[in-house]
Chains A and B, each alone.
Chain A
């Protein structure tokens, strides 16, 4: 055998692969072309004048009447007296208890406690990081707010673990529970955070309990999913061995399955914490205390610098909590010297108690704030880049966004539903298409057609920009290892920032407009897209790349003809992830002049007479999310590398 023969073999397989794809692609392409022509013709014949939404649709009146009923019966109906109000009271007690513990420790005590937890569970490096991080809250002058945010996050995570872990175990062990939970979790995960603030205040009023419950709803799907994964990955041999030794079912669970899934469960907690932290900040809109209040405040004053400090504090909190849990998960794998660990833990407890007795006023720490330099920079950009930012905004708005919006808005709803169903079937199979079409019909039924289509247009433009930037950066990172290493911490930090922090720089640069929401959405969604694209490209087998290179491909050909097509699965997954994130962000853009559904939601929880419309808009957002997710997820599943 000569050295050249393996690539030759590969070249043949590659050619065969391409050929097969082509043959399959031919029919799809013909059908797609016919469908496109049909759509265009139907649109030209049936297009409407895109009438504005009525502000008195049946759905709005229905939600208004629900609100009125709740208001009238909050303190009389048994549903509230024995149900909802107890939930609120229970959560209130939990928050108070957590708060009593954290505040009881005092500044020095809490810093010591977190450092000790880091030291004992995750090693001295993490302990040191935790120590520095928590001190920084004091230096930034944000100690109280940071602790408030921590209290809410811890409460929500405790609730999520309490509810999520048992459900996760059930979902893994009892088939029908798993099957019922899956679609529910799907919907919960694509529901933009913004959409359920209003229903929360309706049931639980404003304040910490409503905030904790909203956060829990956002975070618990991750707990359930990852726990279920961990339990189902326990090797059957271990279970069989234990059964053979005569273990009862309960022993199997508590002595074999749970301990063996421990690492995964700690990871579940890690993910839950990250999600909870980003949601807790948004609940400032319904009177949750903490860093979110600083950001809301900065947003109202268009004070980027003030928000920057709060943003830094959130990132620090996220990094500390993330490192502690990730490293703790890693450590559960290695066997440790128990005696040594006990000594360290004992020492740490003594140190924490000693520190708790010291009173240090965090206000006395030397302070530092980023507000001034950041505001100076923003001011300079506003002054000198005005023409560029204005031109960019107007160009994209008039050139792309407006025409797309016009087409979508003037499409009659039934045509849109048909098109979704037809193209959905083509790319994702009839099941996903059916669900997507139902969602589209539901949006029409809510009486918010025009606003939904405007939001959709903004989402589409934002996702297009996100994919262009994300794929380009991802491809670049996949080829330059050093760049990839340099960029990774930036991506990490970007992903821990709660979505709404990104509104601020966007508002400062582009004023109040839809384009502002697009910019914020792109910043928010690009990091995960870069990651998925990079991983997809790096997963392309080295042998294939070698084969293409030895066949004389230029680097450009290699990228376009080999790497990108073979990484299609990763790219489509990235598109799916990106689109859900973009939708969430575009909606939050309602706070800064992006209009449409996002504005309806904001107005709904700030103006009494618009409550029903706001709730309907929240529902329309969820339906839009399901529609987009089903179409792209189906895409990924049916054409991904699995086949």
Chain B
């Protein structure tokens, strides 16, 4: 397989020299044309995404006979992969209108493949115990009053707002500035780090104001309350530097590379058919995070128990 590829690439280099120049994607794997090829799935760094990918990969491999390559990539880097052919599909995309414009409209290397069925919510949260002790804390206008509670070694004398991975969709720094909040945005670096901080905040009754989102397995175990920011209205987040409103609700969707859409056959059709609920995702995420299962084990357990859900995804 590999040596065939090398030979094909060598032939390619000869033909390219003949007709002049190499394009940026030259020599990359051709996407899975024909029956049983390889599907390259991007894995974005949060567990909900992994749940989608785990089930999709499991069904592609075990029920449809494909090989799946998983690639740990941050959101925007995964989009770059559509251009090079390194990535065939992203299976939980949060909005990203700017990327859609660049890669789908301008460069025409990617296509939308429809919603995953999950509803996405992004917001600012505090642990539930804080709302009992400070009832008005869920209104952003009173956040400045409580800034002192949230001070940490990293917050430069202001309150700390704990954000996640720098690659996540966020307007937090703009929100802090534009709502004139006396807070500093500190990036914890990952979803796992936010979850850890949130669990500590509940267990040890430590104040914490943080960036979080649904679908999210943690909400099934502990209660966190969303802080009310000025309501979202269409277009209020158009200029990323002037955002002063809450996050919109997201219809999470799937994106595939143009090549995969054209030549992916049954694998592409299957990913297109994939749709499930937040509860489904949270269940698999819980298997992954708290039951110590690997992606394949978690997917196997879910697949065995939910045949009615996944049967219709598999193209006839």
Contact = CB atoms under 8 A, between A and B. Distances in A.
B75 interface: yes
A394 B80 contact: no
Contacts of B178: none
Interface in A74-113: 74-75, 78, 80-82, 85-86, 88-89, 92-93, 96-97, 99-100, 103-104
Given A300-B45, A302-B190, A81 B13 contact: no
14 contacts: A75-B23, A86-B22, A92-B9, A103-B2, A207-B84, A287-B77, A300-B45, A301-B192, A512-B193, A513-B153, A592-B189, A603-B166, A606-B74, A607-B76
Nearest to B26: A89
Contacts of A289: 71
Contacts of A85: 21-24, 26
A206 B84 contact: yes
Interface in A189-240: 201, 205-207
A49 B26 CA distance: 52
Contacts of A513: 152-154, 186
Interface stretch (A177-185, A291-299, A329-337, A465-473): A291-299
Contacts of B3: 100, 104
Contacts of B13: 89, 93
B93 interface: no
A97 B6 CA distance: 7
A605 B153 contact: no
B81 interface: yes
Q: How large is the interface on B (under 10, 10 to 19, 20 to 34, 35 or more residues)?
A: 35 or more
A297 B70 CA distance: 12
A511 interface: yes
B26 A300 contact: no
A300 B166 contact: no
A514 interface: yes
Contact of A593 (B26, B47, B98, B193): B193
Contact of A607 (B47, B156, B167): B167
B35 interface: no
A280 to B, nearest CB: 15
A100 B72 contact: no
A37 interface: no
Interface in B153-172: 153-154, 156, 162, 165-167
A593 B154 contact: yes
A507 B6 contact: no
A75 B196 CA distance: 45
A593 B9 contact: no
Contact of A80 (B24, B80, B166): B24
Interface in B209-252: 240-241
Contacts of B191: 300
Interface of B: 2-3, 5-6, 9-10, 12-13, 16, 20-24, 26-28, 45, 47, 71-77, 80-81, 83-84, 86, 98-99, 102, 107, 152-154, 156, 162, 165-167, 186-193, 196-197, 240-241
Nearest to A74: B24
B241 A81 contact: no
Given A75-B24, A511-B193, A608 B98 contact: yes
B72 A599 contact: no
Contacts of B77: 201, 206, 286-287, 605-606
Interface string A152-165: 00000000000000
A300 B153 contact: no
A393 interface: yes
A287 B154 contact: no
A300 B186 contact: no
Contact of B80 (A92, A205, A296, A393): A205
B154 A606 contact: no
Contact of B76 (A75, A82, A397, A608): A608
A88 to B, nearest CB: 7
A397 B155 CA distance: 11
Contact of B188 (A205, A284, A512): A512
- For B72, B74, B165, the residue with the greatest tally of chain A CB atoms inside 10 Å of its CB is B72
B153 A397 contact: yes
Nearest to A600: B166
A392 to B, nearest CB: 10
Interface of A: 55, 71, 74-75, 78, 80-82, 85-86, 88-89, 92-93, 96-97, 99-100, 103-104, 201, 205-207, 284, 286-287, 289, 293, 296-297, 299-303, 393-394, 397-398, 402, 507, 511-515, 590-593, 595, 599, 602-603, 605-609
- For A512, A591, A609, the residue with the greatest tally of chain B CB atoms inside 10 Å of its CB is A512
Contacts of B154: 397, 512-514, 593, 595
Given A299-B189, A593-B189, 13 more contacts: A85-B21, A89-B16, A96-B2, A286-B77, A287-B71, A287-B77, A297-B72, A507-B189, A606-B74, A606-B167, A607-B166, A608-B98, A609-B240
A405 to B, nearest CB: 9
Contact of A293 (B72, B81, B98, B162): B72
Given A93-B27, A206-B84, A397-B154, A99 B2 contact: yes
Contact of A284 (B23, B72, B189): B72
Nearest to A605: B77
Given A93-B9, A97-B6, A300-B165, A205 B84 contact: yes
Nearest to A102: B2
Contact of A93 (B10, B23, B75, B240): B10
Contacts of B75: 606
A515 B9 contact: no
Contacts of B74: 606
A509 to B, nearest CB: 12
Contacts of A71: 102, 107
A394 B2 CA distance: 54
A300 B186 CA distance: 16
Contacts of A80: 21, 24
Contacts of A397: 153-154
B24 A205 contact: yes
Contacts of A300: 45, 72, 165, 190-192
